[in-house]
Structure 1
Amino acid sequence: MSVIEPPPSSASILAPGDNCWSIEQASRAAVLIDADAYFAAARAAMLTAKRRIMLIGWDFDGRIELTGVRGAPDAPMRVGDFILWLVNRTPTLEVYLLRWDLGALRTLFRGTTIFTFVKWMWHKRIHTRLDGAHPPGASHHQKIVVIDDCFAFCGGIDMTGDRWDTRAHRDGDPGRRRPGGDAYPPWHDATTALEGDAAARLGELARDRWRIAGGTPLQPITDGAVCWPEGLEPMFRDVAVAISRSRPVLPDLEPIREIERLYLDMIAKARRFIYAESQYFASRRIAEAIARRLDEADGPEIVIVNPLTANGWLEPIAMDSARARLFEALRQRDTHGRLRIYHPYTAAGEPIYVHAKIMIVDEEMIRVGSSNMNNRSLRLDTECDVTIDRACPRNDGCSPTIRAIRDGLIAEHLGSDAATVAEMIDASGSIVATIERLRGTGRSLRPYEVPDLSAVETWLADNEVLDPEGPEEMFEALGKRGLFRRARDRRRAWRALRKPPGRSGKA
């Protein structure tokens, strides 16, 4: 496997060992928007597997269907049966499935999952493990599929329920049904497809995670096979791709904070535009980096697309409250009016849940992965993102594609088309102005409104109860942590400086 030498810092911010693990060449690459495209491509890719499939995820549901008839129309549609069919069809094929342990225990007994699991356990070429190699309260959050070390998916989509949707996000789409038949809300997501050395490097990451989780060490596959799935159109060819990771402190393992560093570096690099999609906006470090750019007279516009509210019961209290507090603080700094948070809605006005993790800087860098803009993704959970930077060697021609992806995402959310969005951005020189002009009722983006925060919500947000910045904070006294700890620490230091000599400070 060839490793590309990092370009000079003046040309690219990507730096192996700092904000990325390595930079590798991908012979072909694509960004897949929403699970309709991903599930079809995953089915087609797994049909090419000869030696090994590695499924590394936060969640996995063998009952879901991999829609899209691309080759082998007689193969089962349900992913659990499909994997059994694949290994029975190909005697040389082995499948390795690794998922987060606590999530697995929570969902093991849903529907027919337990029967699928038992059938896999009995098959000598299907290997399953639950990943418990994380601190208390943390999760294994990577979403990676590697096929024969020659092709890989890496992004934000798990092969589980409530994920499938199309870019149309139609109201009442019959495809948005759980295995039991219940409907679920519209869902927006993204991942990447990579071929070549970049895929082989993700294979190394997957094997390493398998070993850390207690699995038998695996050797790389070096057959040089070509396994780009039929029907998937590549967006990039011969492109340099950076791989960035998060990993918490573990016994005998140093923490990895490449993802955090890359977020801060990308925000610092932007000249005109930062367009981002994230499930959460709750990271103090990211908010501080944005604040520094908002202070500049000629800084970039920053547009973030979030879901209306986080999923779950406690998550909305912690994540939504943190978002409100951070946004309100940033709004006070946004004297030039360059920051916006929006939520997407269907034609009938139903909120679309944003699970995608994307950041696009100007027309020069695109990053897709599993990490959100929250503390857990930066320091507590295991994550993996991939980035394409136009400034890397041989990436000179990437800008039009990066821009087309960005404009297509904005158009998708506005119920418009990419050509119209591109024309209006060129005419106005502003993404914010373009969105404001195109948005309306029905299928559109709506601006975030800061809610009234109850005392409980404010306390949870300030103390980051559900979103600690690292494993050391899981058991740290609440008074020592929180969104606004730096301001609190500064106040304490100021009071100490002003304390008269000879006084203990006690009343």
Structure 2
Amino acid sequence: MINEEQGGDPSLAPVVEAGRNCWRIERAARAAAVVDAADYYHYVREAMLAARRRILIIGWDFDTRIALEPDGNGHGESLGHFFLRLARENPARQIDILKWSFGALKQFLRPRAAWMLLRWQMTRAIDFRFDSFHPAGCSHHQKIVVIDERFAVCGGIDISCARWDTTAHADDDPRRTLPDGKPYGPWHDVTMMLDGDAAQALADLGRDRWKHATRRDLPPAEDGHDHWPDDAEVDFRDVDIAVARTRAAWRDCAEVREIEALWLDMIAAARRFIYIENQYLTSGRIAAAIAARMEEDDPPEIVVVMPRSADGWLEQKAMDAARVLLARAIGKADRLNRFRIYVPVTGGGADIYVHAKVAIVDDRLLKIGSANLNNRSMGLDSECDVIIDAALPANADTPPAIAALRTRLLAEHLDVSPEDFAARFAETGSLVDTIEALRGQGEALRGPGKTLDLLDLEKPGPLDQFIAGNELLDPEDPDGFFEPLHKRGLRMRWREGMARLKGRIRRRPRRR
């Protein structure tokens, strides 16, 4: 039986290794996982109000029209006006914003957004830039905020529209509205706040990205006062945090594939279970690594929580069919039924869109960031993840907090209390058995509420299979857009992954 309070295994070696599967490992005085954007927007707003020298935002998307803290009708001070107020109150505090250039034209086709960008342009303290420093077809996908270089946030949440939601993911929440007043559906996401030297590492990463995108240096802007939000809890104290990246080769920048290497190492290191929340599962190499573990005599459980369908028609064509093909292939290797994909739904039966990118291995490894489990995030798009590895000496006491986060996430999806989930898990020692026992029981334990559905792996149609099987919209590097079809595709990535892993993953001892 698994004991959530037993802590780390001193016999385990660290998985993270600077220079191989991560960039740097730095100390954070405090760190905390923030679940869903309602809390994140509240905390980051507090940190921005406390900023003295610089607010640096690096993002895939950014929308000046949203309210960080909407009222009961979805209204409130817009982000654009909030930044203008910050600039008036402290003109010496610089606000630097770097957004991926794709869709830049849309900003100027929206009258409210265009007018706000013009006002920003006339405000010395605000510098808004578009990031085009990447190969064709690539996206800048990092989601980072740094305050005075000593407080930072890194994860999956963009400061943009259709992201705000609470952990209740209530049906028909009137605060969940687009800038034009139209409602949008429930949205689940996760990010991590941290401070200290780990925040300084993210500041260095952000300033480096700014220099490449704008050809202008951002001078250091460190300020030593405490930026941690007053009402934010602390999950981890004095922990070493690894930073892992993905970046395509472009001009004077070399390719970086740290996140892919880390995923393969995490899958190989798992003894009992891997809990994953992710938007996609289309990486053939990652799927092959999972399948290789499923072929073992006593494999770990691997539980994945995902959206039922990708967001947008193109994403559905590229990602949903590939997920089905790979999940079916994993299923053939899964003799003991230890691999599951679930979809969260509301009490009213509406799908909750999962945008989080979280991985927890044996309650000893925690990874939160921007990278999806698709080819793009492994080698094409710019990504950034942060990792806590309990095998690092400073992190020996982190497993209970990692376990508490895993419990909190699954309890949220199943609409039971964390105590109920933890008690059932202590009885079964199995994530799958616990989820299956609690699915649909939220009403009996707490009243009508959310649950997890098993994903229906319906066979994709011929067009979807062709697009997905040939990775037409999900290449792993810039050259992938131009490779002939016979040199690309899911089957090839799968074979490459299996060949690489067969000799690498040894048989694990049976769990006790």
TM-score, reference length from structure 2: 0.91
Q: Per-residue CA shift, 1:226-252, capped at 9, x if unaligned? A: 211221111111111110100001011
Q: Which residue pairs with 1:274 in the alignment?
A: 274
Is 1:24 the counterpart of 2:26? The answer is yes
- Evaluate the alpha carbon distance shift between residue 371 and residue 488 of structure 1 in structure 2; reply closer, same or farther with a 3 A threshold: closer
5+ residue gaps, structure 1, are 1-7, 70-75, 491-507
C-alpha distance in 2 between matches for 1:306 and 1:110: 32
Amino acid at match of 1:90: N
Q: Which residue pairs with 2:395 in the alignment?
A: 395
Q: Which residue pairs with 1:45 in the alignment?
A: 47
- Evaluate the alpha carbon distance shift between residue 453 and residue 223 of structure 1 in structure 2; reply closer, same or farther with a 3 A threshold: closer
Q: Which residue pairs with 2:364 in the alignment?
A: 364
Amino acid at match of 1:17: G
Amino acid at match of 1:12: P
Do the aligned partners of 2:285 and 2:496 also contact (CA within 8 Å) in 1?
no
Q: Per-residue CA shift, 1:76-115, capped at 9, x if unaligned? A: 7211111111111013201110000013333442351101
Do the aligned partners of 1:45 and 1:230 also contact (CA within 8 Å) in 2?
no
Pick the aligned partner of 2:485 from 459, 478, 482: 478
The equivalences for 1:5-404 within 5 A come to 11-67=13-69, 77-404=77-404
Q: Per-residue CA shift, 1:302-333, capped at 9, x if unaligned? A: 00001010011111011000000000111000
TM-score, reference length from structure 1: 0.92
Amino acid at match of 2:460: L
Do the aligned partners of 1:134 and 1:248 also contact (CA within 8 Å) in 2?
yes
C-alpha distance in 1 between matches for 2:21 and 2:493: 24
C-alpha distance in 2 between matches for 1:368 and 1:420: 25
Do the aligned partners of 1:58 and 1:103 also contact (CA within 8 Å) in 2?
no
C-alpha distance in 2 between matches for 1:433 and 1:228: 38
- Evaluate the alpha carbon distance shift between residue 455 and residue 332 of structure 1 in structure 2; reply closer, same or farther with a 3 A threshold: same
Moved more, 396-405 or 436-445: 436-445
> How far has the Cα of 1:9 moved from its partner?
11
- Evaluate the alpha carbon distance shift between residue 10 and residue 429 of structure 1 in structure 2; reply closer, same or farther with a 3 A threshold: closer
C-alpha distance in 2 between matches for 1:464 and 1:106: 27
> How far has the Cα of 1:449 moved from its partner?
1.1
**Sequence identity of aligned pairs in percent?**
49
Amino acid at match of 1:18: R
Q: Per-residue CA shift, 1:388-441, capped at 9, x if unaligned? A: 111112211111110000011001000111111111111111000000111028
C-alpha distance in 2 between matches for 1:146 and 1:486: 36
C-alpha distance in 2 between matches for 1:12 and 1:216: 37
Do the aligned partners of 1:30 and 1:234 also contact (CA within 8 Å) in 2?
yes
Q: Which residue pairs with 1:453 in the alignment?
A: 460
Q: Which residue pairs with 1:433 in the alignment?
A: 433
> How far has the Cα of 1:267 moved from its partner?
0.7
> How far has the Cα of 1:218 moved from its partner?
1.5
- Evaluate the alpha carbon distance shift between residue 125 and residue 304 of structure 1 in structure 2; reply closer, same or farther with a 3 A threshold: same
> How far has the Cα of 1:10 moved from its partner?
5.3
Do the aligned partners of 1:23 and 1:240 also contact (CA within 8 Å) in 2?
yes
Do the aligned partners of 2:288 and 2:494 also contact (CA within 8 Å) in 1?
no
Q: Per-residue CA shift, 1:33-70, capped at 9, x if unaligned? A: 0000000001100001110000100000011011189x
Aligned residues: 477
5+ residue gaps, structure 2, are 1-9, 442-448, 498-512
Q: State which structure, 1 or 2, has the greater radius of gyration over its C-alpha atoms.
A: 1
C-alpha distance in 2 between matches for 1:408 and 1:78: 31
C-alpha distance in 2 between matches for 1:216 and 1:254: 20
